[in-house]
């Protein structure tokens, strides 16, 4: 996650200079390399290094996808398309844990990375055949130090800060659930590993459905009002009583 976050600051300007299609194909190749190295890892150090390579490839694919939307849409229309793009992102946690758990249970931990390598190869073939360049040469921006100085200007923009905090808070809760639920579900609730992925199904489904709904409504409701609705729902979910306390009371 750290590499994916930091990598966007550099991959974004690179794709603005060299175009979307080339960076998309290179990113897929980097992801294939990282996934294959993960599957072949013989030490934790090699695995972490391979994950860094894999993260760079995934980061590049993500940046190009969102940049291509920016090339072709703006305003409310762009917000609508971004919501639909988030639906695609929501598909990953919907199926990945289920597939991963069964692969782990049947073939061991390396099988998950073998599966990702094969999947990336298929995506690479599709991208090579289907992706067209969305950034014409005359609109490309040369990468220089001035671009990175603009990051400071962006960080001083209060509107950006507010929206970034909203998105960060929502995604933080999402990933806190992802990181803590394996211990809770498998170790504390004693759910078999192969069934663990189904516990992600409800949360991921709601993320997917929510993205679809937002994509339909944001054009009518507006971005700001949609953000307030999201904040209100997050606040309501945080106000739900502590489940551990309820479980202790029920056991008593």
What is the pTM assigned to this prediction?
0.72
Residue-by-residue DSSP string for 115-172: HHHHHHHHHHHHHHHH----S-GGG-----HHHHHHHHHHHT-HHHHHHHHHHHHHHH
CATH class for the domain made up of 2-241: mainly alpha
Question: Do residues 72 and 82 touch, judged by C-beta distance below 8 A?
Answer: no
Output the tens digit of pLDDT for each of the chain's 252 residues: 888 888 888 888 888 888 888 888 999 999 999 999 999 999 999 999 999 999 999 999 888 888 888 877 777 677 777 777 776 776 776 777 778 878 888 888 899 999 999 999 999 999 888 888 877 777 777 877 777 788 888 888 888 888 888 888 877 877 787 778 778 888 888 888 777 777 777 777 777 777 777 777 777 777 778 888 888 887 887 777 665 554 554 455
- d(CA 181, CA 185) in angstroms, rounded, equals 6
Region of 19 please: left (phi>0), alpha (psi -120 to 50) or beta: left
Question: Do residues 234 and 170 touch, judged by C-beta distance below 8 A?
Answer: yes
- d(CA 169, CA 126) in angstroms, rounded, equals 34
Question: Which spans in the chain are helix H?
Answer: 2-18, 20-39, 44-72, 75-107, 110-130, 145-155, 158-182, 198-221, 223-238, 243-251
């Amino acid at each position: 996650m750290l590499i994916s976050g930091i990598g966007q600051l550099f991959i974004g300007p690179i794709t603005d200079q060299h175009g979307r299609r080339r960076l998309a194909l290179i990113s897929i190749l980097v992801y294939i390399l990282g996934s294959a190295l993960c599957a072949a890892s013989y030490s934790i150090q090699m695995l972490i290094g391979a994950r860094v390579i894999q993260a760079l490839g995934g980061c590049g694919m993500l940046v190009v996808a969102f940049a291509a939307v920016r090339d072709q849409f703006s305003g409310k229309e762009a917000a609508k398309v971004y919501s639909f793009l988030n639906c695609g992102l929501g598909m990953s946690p919907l199926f990945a844990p289920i597939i991963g758990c069964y692969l782990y249970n049947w073939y061991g931990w390396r099988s998950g990375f073998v599966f990702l390598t094969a999947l990336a190869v298929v995506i690479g073939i599709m991208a090579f055949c289907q992706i067209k360049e969305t950034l014409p040469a005359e609109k490309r921006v040369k990468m220089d130090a001035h671009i990175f100085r603009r990051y400071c200007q962006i960080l001083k923009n209060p509107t950006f800060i507010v929206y970034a905090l909203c998105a960060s808070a929502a995604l933080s809760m999402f990933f806190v659930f992802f990181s803590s639920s394996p211990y809770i579900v498998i170790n504390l609730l004693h759910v078999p590993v192969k069934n663990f992925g189904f516990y992600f199904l409800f949360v991921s489904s709601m993320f997917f459905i929510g993205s679809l709904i937002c994509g339909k409504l944001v054009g009518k409701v507006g971005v700001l009002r949609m953000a307030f609705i999201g904040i209100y729902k997050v606040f309501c979910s945080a106000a739900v009583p502590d489940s551990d306390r309820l479980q202790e009371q029920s056991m008593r």
